[in-house]
Structure 1
Amino acid sequence: MFGNDPLTGRGAELTDIGRALGGDGKFSGAVIAGPAGVGKTRLAREVLARADAAGTRTKWVVGTESARPLPLGAFTGLIGDTGPNPMASVRNIVNSLVAQQQKDRVLVGVDDAHLLDGLSAHVVHLLAQSRGVRLVVTVRTGSSEPDAVTALWRDGLLTRLDLGPLSPSATHDLIEKSLDGPVDTRSAQRFWKLTGGNALFLRQLLKDQVAAERIRQVAGVWMWDENVAVSSSIGDVVGQQLGRLTPELALVVDTLSLCEPLQVDVLGELVNRADVAVAEQMHLITVERTDAGLFARLAHPLFGELRRATAGEMYLSTIRGRLSRRLAHDDRDMHRTVRRALLLLESDLEPDPELYLRSARFAMTLLDLELAERFSAAAAGCGVGEASSVQAMNMVLLGRGEQAEVVLRQLSEAGGGDQHQWATVRAANLIWMLGNPTEAWAILEGLAASDETPAELATRHAIEACVDAVSARCSVAAEKARAALASEDLPDFHAMMASVALVMALGAMGEVDDIGGVADRALARAATSFQASHMRFWFGSVHARACRLTGRIDDCVTSANLLADSAREVPGLAYANLAFLLGHAALVSGDLPRAAKLLHEALAGVEKHGVTTGLRPASCFALAETHAKLGEPEASMAALSEARQCVPVDYSFMHTGLSVATGWALAAGGALAEAVAAVQAGAVAAAERGQPTHELACLQAAVQWGDASGAPRARQLANSLDLPLANTIARHAESLSAGDGRGLLAVAGEYRESGDRATAADAAAQAAVAFSAGQEGKRGLYAAALAQELADECGGLCTPALRSPVVPVPFTGRQREIAELVAAGLSNRDIADRLVTSVRTVEGHVYRACRQVGAASRADLAAIMRAGPGRRP
């Protein structure tokens, strides 16, 4: 897994070194300078390996502490015994290498030049002065290197390249190459944060997590949500001095390992202030001045992991208790309160149930539901009755529908003033977590038969609106949701439920005027609510879907990015919802590789947390479309198969998504007729349910696959809806039906302006075919080039429209269908069986299609279809 030692994130540095070695006479090579572990040696080795592969003769010299006392110690491997006259040996080495340079190019790598003895450094300096031999030299910054080494860049002999840590994206790439598979973004960020981008630390830490099985593959994605596993190797790499600390210095480091950053004044009350100063001088900690005073933190994040792994639990519990007592009056915000509560929970002090309960709510607001579960369980263990209600709400948000149902049933049947409210929460859990709106409706009907206060009526309407929304009763859902949101007494949880239902309904009906305002109010309320904070990303996905249905792609992307920026860290299930939201935004805007990565992360999160919400089918729908658009039929069909298994029977609002996903998966496999039939059936069903934008989505997909039969209906919808997207889709269908290249090109521009690059590419490709059929070759070439440009912007878009060859006479419908199936890899017998026709008929269509595009064979036809209009094989 780690044998290939991948070099990642150093492309710019390799280019700079290559330029310095290029022989323009300005430099004789490069010095790679940087702190320990950033990858200086690895980069230099890569430069020499590439030079060796290109035919350059290479030499590798290493400076070491053991060889430093010896004259020419670094070069003993080249010259053996230096003899009585070391200076003669210096001349021999230089002359030998320069002579070799006259025969062949010679590149000398000098590693750890700061450890060279004086004569060895003198040799390197003379070689650089000779301007013959090329050099790549590594130097550790902060060390005392010989003057001859310093002169290499000071005198302009070698260019100096200061090598910094790996960037977060380069760290992510390195991990994925090492593990040979995708890694979820949170895990990669955690590795980067702990290692600071130090390549040496990163490789060792990654090996430790794999060896301890702390990082595992879930649904094909590597995820690291466990505690850090540390080995003796990482201790040797990061800081050997940690194992030799005095008890006083150890206390400084261990205190910060449990709570950082910490004000120096506070730290000085818990440890000896003089020891804090010594720890800073030894680079165990860093102290920085801010407007709030001096703050101390560990010099490296891994110091804390190493110390916690080796210190005794009773010792750490005592330190946590002291910290908790000292921070008792520092609860200025939620983060500080949660931090103090966690210290107390893991200390040897008496519990504080009220603090635990308050911190459980704060942790929910801060999105850490697992921590909230610990706090609420601790409060319940202390006999706090209110803790059970917090636990129940937390279970709902965690997606643990079955567990929540047991607790919510008890709360809703226990009597008391909260019985009605808990019954509505139970109904919401049945709808969203257990996929059972029928039983939820029965509960709500029972409440409707009782005497309700105006506030209770509002809570019931909020949840009833959800049942109506998932059942595709859009106008009724919108009416009830608005009535609920008009109540000033509506709890935050119910307000979010009503907002979800309202945005779903408005998006389906194409009523865009209120969507933005509803979303802004809901998200503002959720930001400070323990009941609703965790739902903000789920709500964001509902809002994004409504934006897509109504053609507001930029709003979809902007909203997703703002939500991603709304929290410093997004743990657990919340990240799965956020990954879906960002993945969906990437899909609709045409960033397909990013969409695939994020959507797989969302699905892995669903798998890891074992939730039964609609997040799984929604992720599968989006993945089926993404892989289809990337020309990956097997992956698309696999996502569709999973989606079909997890769509709740009564979720009518998901049926359109299932129809479109089915169509894309079929289209990716070449079955265009079946794909069109799937979305045509979806359009009819959406019309019957009163979901005009859902119907439009189906008609648009059909047009993208070459079917313009829905043009009259698309025009009817455009005339009844005040949506620019509806008019664009109608014009798309009408232009395709008429073979109007100019109309299709104009439609491509409209899609592109709206942010939908993928559909714009399809329309441009269809314009290219139409122009070619109309003997407008130059316009056809322009449209084909535009289609390819958009396809490239999308990261390799490969749709049926882009696979249609640009020829003077386009394929007939049956020819194109058979050509698509050939490109998908089906044999003539397979095609005949699928189309219920004879093999001879298929062979005839394949023959005529080959002649039409100038293909010499069936394989050539498949290659032409896959290449598309802008790339001829």
Structure 2
Amino acid sequence: MISLDSSRKRRAAPRPAAAAGVPIGRTEEARLAVESVLGPDHVAVLLFGDSGIGKSTLVEAVVAELQHAVTPVRIHGSASLANVPYGVLGPFIVGLPVQEATSQLAVLRTFWSRLEEERRVSQKPLLLVVDDAHDLDESTAGILVELAAAGWAKMLVAAQTRPGLPEPLLQLWFEGIAKRLDLRPLTREQTSHLLEATLGPQVLPSVAEILWEASAGNPLLLSGLIADAKADGTLLQRNGVWLLVRPLKSHGDRLTDVVRRQLLRRSPAERQALNLIALAEPVTRDAIESAVGEDPVAALIEHELIRVTPAPYPQLRLWHSTYGDALRNLISPARSLQLRQSLLRLMDSEPTSAEGLLRQVSWSMDCGVEVEDRQLLRAAALASRLYEDELARRAAALVKDPELQVAARAVTARTYFNTSDYAAARDILEVDFAQGQSVAVLLTGTLMWAAVHAALGHSPADIMDRARALLAAGERLARANPDDAEQILGATRERYATMHAMVYALAGEYRQGADTDAADEAAPANTLESAFRLALASERLLVQGKAVQSFAVISEALETAGTGVDELYFLAEFLVARAVAAVVHGGDWAAAEKLLAGLAAGQGPNLISFGGGVHAAHGIILLYQGKASQALTTLSVALESLRLTDPQQLFALTASMAFAAAADVGATDKAAAFLADYEAAPRPVSRYLRVLSQMAVTYGKARLGNYPGAVTELRALGRPPGDGSTAGLELDSLAFCLSLGDRDAATRLLELRPGLEGPRPAAICHYAAAISSDRATDHLEAGKSCEAAELWGFAALAYDAAADGYRGTGDTLRERMAMAQRKRCLERADGVAGQDEEAEDDALGLLTRRERDIVALAVRGLGDRQIAAELQVSVRTVEGHLYRSYAKLNIKGRDQLPGTAGS
């Protein structure tokens, strides 16, 4: 299960690095720019990109690279001089008489004379470095083109994609004598590398994902987001790991300054349009055009400051959503109220989208305008689902209707559940539980109440005993309303049954001995109850070792649950977590990655709440694969995220796995810290995960030494007393035992083998079969099976056993080749690329029997004549077989045969 060779120094996989001075993600563009300036084919390099994309930074990097080959002359476009002929050339033509200042020939002559002086001093070719070239006037652009076309100087030009370059400069590209380079937004991976360069290597992956989405890959916005998030405590470092403690806000000083500079370039009408869109987005195009006119809207669309959603109902949004908070922060409350009044008469009375509802309610609250209670409640519930907890609490607190206040308090409790403050959520929900004068109010918040108590560690039996108060309240309400008694009693009993299914599914507790969890029970009353029963059945199958069936059942539960369960917003994540447990247990890594990728693709705030669980799953996969060093890093990062918010109660499991990984690589100090974390944390809610975490801790203690009862304890954990079939738990416990060197575990694994499902159990049982037969060839085949399942630790153990077997029979060639396979698996476990797999995979099988015999003797050091005498063949035959063997093994001679180097 885990690589045992902890004495070797672990090596981290190398990170791609940018060339010195070149911005991350721009290495290729920098290389092409330098080559084009130095080469004979182009007179100019044109760099295009959006505002903040890094054009100026790249220009400076290219100039630095060329400093020994050229003389840079800097010219900077200016919006204020865009309509002044030759305005930006003023510093170069100060001696030109006023009457000649508009003469192109006179300006060209004076400008060129000044450039020639600089060239004579430096004795190097001239490079005109033109930044913000989109703000150049046409006359200046014409002068620059004349110089470049005549071969007097080359140009490095940077401009925004929109509005683009003046026509004369663009003509150089049309004519094929200018190299055009378009700078694209940073990719997700490039953003991660930039964050590592800025903050350090320990950045939570979900942080990189959130910042990449928020900045849209724009380096300037990314830099502003990082600076502001650090300044207001949203982005902070805990135990060396950078993480987000709450959703990003984009109204800090850095981003506000960026937005303010953008606004200064726009006309008053365009600024008003931007303000209206920021306050009301998404808003219909007709409404904004009615308020400010069509031309300002068209200009903002052309310059990609706003965008239009597709027909049939085109709406306007800011191009960068990050600008929204910053723009709104620049608008005073009085001005905001004025804009609201001017726009409301042009808008629909009711928002057409959930986002529109949030913006309208938030805008109203900011302006001090009263909002109707039901709209406040809708907005609060929506905000809590989107993890905008502050907005949800503000809206909920303004609800005045006593009956609606119960629902508002339930929403507030949910915001505390979002941040794992379960005690605060419980205190709010307890006030209203089993209260209410209508069945709707009575049932409000009850599912969340049960989930909160489960999160606080109460047993299912205890929770359901407390929940009987709901049934009693339903009976009282039915007596008070005899005409509706049947409906009231039916609704409360149905809710009680759903709560029962939920808390037992959360805990993974089911009736022992039942073939199906609900075989003898009434059919589920609703799809939610059905989904929870299926989740429980899935966990039962997982404990039994039926990983494939378990995944199929939990997939059915996901379909059954559907969407739109307002109160249990975490239902999808709960079910996906169970699905991940099934595929990880079975070793279906591709399915696991697909599920985790789906969770990671959620909205930024969702990643803050559930991202820790995603990283924990990745870490457990790495640990199962034998990549303990990588698992340690990933699990350490996951733990820091889970300290912040842990809606799935995965902290203890993650701490136990991190402890096992640290023990496996011999990191004793880290192991002690992780063990303390595990012992101080509440145990996982799920029964299966609870037992698995105990196994990991037992294994870790054994790996650290002086824990003689580890194997006995592991075996007991795999077979809890009084349980039925627990083959799945046994597989996990026996895999740990095998990793500790307990060869006796193989016998029990083979007994379990027929009932286990998935590539991971199959590969581990293949290794167990090889241990039982103890034949070198069986170990070799088991190693290949473990490799195919990507269980690199077990593969290395199998190949090591194969090498021992071949050594005992004197088969040196096969021994050395088995050792080469073992080395490759250990390298894969360490995350270091080994030799080419196609060249090395099953190299022995490429040779004929006679070739193997001859190569084996060559490896032992015999010469060609000695081999010929040993095998009673001619020397020419030996030479021919060796020549063909070298070709098959992709080597050049005898000294490169496997195992001969250094022997």
Give the TM-score category using the shorter length. 0.7 to 0.9
CA distance 1:127–1:706, change in 2 (3 Å): farther
Match of 2:785 in 1: 750
Match of 1:61 in 2: 73
Match of 1:560 in 2: 596
What TM-score results when the alignment is normalised by the length of structure 1?
Answer: 0.73
Please list, as runs of the form range in 1=range in 2, the aligned pairs for 1:554-633 lying within 5 A after superposition.
554-565=590-601, 570=606, 572-581=608-617, 599=635, 602-609=638-645, 614-624=649-659
Match of 1:681 in 2: 713
Match of 1:704 in 2: 739
Give me the whole-angstrom Cα distance separating, in 2, the residues matched to 1:591 and 1:333. 46
**Does structure 1 residue 433 correspond to structure 2 residue 433?**
no
Q: Please give the secondary structure, in 2, of the residue aligned with 1:513.
A: helix
**Equivalent position amino acid for 1:316 in 2:** S
Match of 1:42 in 2: 57
Match of 1:309 in 2: 329
Give me the whole-angstrom Cα distance separating, in 2, the residues matched to 1:322 and 1:574. 41
Q: How many residues align?
A: 774
Q: Residues 461-488 of structure 1, C-alpha deviation per residue, up to 9 Å, x if partnerless?
A: 6666677678876543977953699544
Match of 2:579 in 1: 543
**Does structure 1 residue 656 correspond to structure 2 residue 691?**
yes
Match of 2:236 in 1: 216
Compute the displacement of 1:545 (Å).
1.4
Residues 431-440 or 149-158, more deviating: 149-158
Equivalent residues of 2:141, 2:168 under 8 A apart? no
Q: Residues 213-258 of structure 1, C-alpha deviation per residue, up to 9 Å, x if partnerless?
A: 4432245223263563656665554553525877654432222112
Equivalent residues of 2:47, 2:180 under 8 A apart? yes
Q: Please give the secondary structure, in 1, of the residue aligned with 2:570.
A: helix
Compute the displacement of 1:349 (Å).
3.1
**Does structure 1 residue 12 correspond to structure 2 residue 41?**
no
Match of 2:565 in 1: 529
Match of 2:763 in 1: 728
**Equivalent position amino acid for 1:355 in 2:** Q
CA distance 1:156–1:182, change in 2 (3 Å): same
Match of 1:506 among 541, 560, 577: 541
**Equivalent position amino acid for 2:423 in 1:** E
Give me the whole-angstrom Cα distance separating, in 2, the residues matched to 1:650 and 1:201. 41
**Equivalent position amino acid for 1:657 in 2:** L
Identity %: 19
Match of 1:443 among 440, 451, 466: 466
Give me the whole-angstrom Cα distance separating, in 1, the residues matched to 2:41 and 2:515. 76
**Equivalent position amino acid for 1:180 in 2:** G
Q: Residues 287-319 of structure 1, C-alpha deviation per residue, up to 9 Å, x if partnerless?
A: 537321443233544543332222112432554
Equivalent residues of 1:221, 1:600 under 8 A apart? no
**Does structure 1 residue 263 correspond to structure 2 residue 310?**
no
**Does structure 1 residue 399 correspond to structure 2 residue 411?**
no
Please list, as runs of the form range in 1=range in 2, the aligned pairs for 1:378-527 lying within 5 A after superposition.
378-379=398-399, 384-387=404-407, 388-392=409-413, 399-412=420-433, 414=435, 426-434=449-457, 439-440=462-463, 443=466, 474-476=510-512, 481-482=517-518, 487-490=523-526, 492=528, 497-511=532-546, 512-513=548-549, 515-522=551-558, 524-527=560-563
Give me the whole-angstrom Cα distance separating, in 1, the residues matched to 2:761 and 2:109. 91
Give me the whole-angstrom Cα distance separating, in 1, the residues matched to 2:358 and 2:108. 70
Equivalent residues of 2:422, 2:456 under 8 A apart? yes
Give me the whole-angstrom Cα distance separating, in 2, the residues matched to 1:200 and 1:791. 42
Give me the whole-angstrom Cα distance separating, in 1, the residues matched to 2:286 and 2:178. 48
Match of 2:859 in 1: none
What TM-score results when the alignment is normalised by the length of structure 2?
Answer: 0.70
Please list, as runs of the form range in 1=range in 2, the aligned pairs for 1:130-145 lying within 5 A after superposition.
138=158, 141=161
Residues 498-507 or 4-13, more deviating: 4-13
Compute the displacement of 1:50 (Å).
5.7
Q: Please give the secondary structure, in 2, of the residue aligned with 1:521.
A: helix
Structure 1: gaps of 5 or more residues: 74-81, 101-105, 799-868
**Does structure 1 residue 351 correspond to structure 2 residue 371?**
yes
Compute the displacement of 1:711 (Å).
1.0
Please list, as runs of the form range in 1=range in 2, the aligned pairs for 1:795-806 lying within 5 A after superposition.
796=831
Q: Residues 104-128 of structure 1, C-alpha deviation per residue, up to 9 Å, x if partnerless?
A: xx99683539468877776666668
Compute the displacement of 1:632 (Å).
5.7
CA distance 1:236–1:654, change in 2 (3 Å): closer
Q: Whose Rg is larger?
A: 2
**Equivalent position amino acid for 1:434 in 2:** G
Structure 2: gaps of 5 or more residues: 1-19, 78-86, 95-106, 476-488, 834-898
Match of 1:240 among 254, 258, 261: 261
Compute the displacement of 1:532 (Å).
2.7
Compute the displacement of 1:405 (Å).
3.0
Compute the displacement of 1:644 (Å).
2.4
CA distance 1:214–1:426, change in 2 (3 Å): closer
CA distance 1:444–1:84, change in 2 (3 Å): closer
Equivalent residues of 1:462, 1:484 under 8 A apart? no
Compute the displacement of 1:63 (Å).
1.8
Q: Residues 25-55 of structure 1, C-alpha deviation per residue, up to 9 Å, x if partnerless?
A: 6668955444443223433443455677xxx
CA distance 1:595–1:359, change in 2 (3 Å): farther
Equivalent residues of 1:373, 1:394 under 8 A apart? yes
Please list, as runs of the form range in 1=range in 2, the aligned pairs for 1:274-353 lying within 5 A after superposition.
274=294, 276-277=296-297, 280=300, 283=303, 285-288=305-308, 290-301=310-321, 303-317=323-337, 319=339, 330=350, 332=352, 334-353=354-373
**Equivalent position amino acid for 2:52 in 1:** G
Equivalent residues of 1:187, 1:225 under 8 A apart? no
Match of 1:112 among 125, 131, 140: 131
**Equivalent position amino acid for 2:731 in 1:** L
Give me the whole-angstrom Cα distance separating, in 2, the residues matched to 1:325 and 1:286. 22
CA distance 1:401–1:117, change in 2 (3 Å): closer
**Equivalent position amino acid for 1:61 in 2:** V
Q: Please give the secondary structure, in 2, of the residue aligned with 1:63.
A: strand
Give me the whole-angstrom Cα distance separating, in 1, the residues matched to 2:603 and 2:379. 18
Match of 1:718 in 2: 753
Equivalent residues of 1:363, 1:369 under 8 A apart? yes
Equivalent residues of 2:47, 2:157 under 8 A apart? yes
Compute the displacement of 1:605 (Å).
3.8
Q: Please give the secondary structure, in 1, of the residue aligned with 2:404.
A: coil
Equivalent residues of 2:630, 2:831 under 8 A apart? no
Compute the displacement of 1:378 (Å).
3.4
Compute the displacement of 1:202 (Å).
3.1
Please list, as runs of the form range in 1=range in 2, the aligned pairs for 1:12-31 lying within 5 A after superposition.
12-17=28-33
Give me the whole-angstrom Cα distance separating, in 2, the residues matched to 1:325 and 1:575. 42
CA distance 1:595–1:296, change in 2 (3 Å): farther
Compute the displacement of 1:508 (Å).
1.0
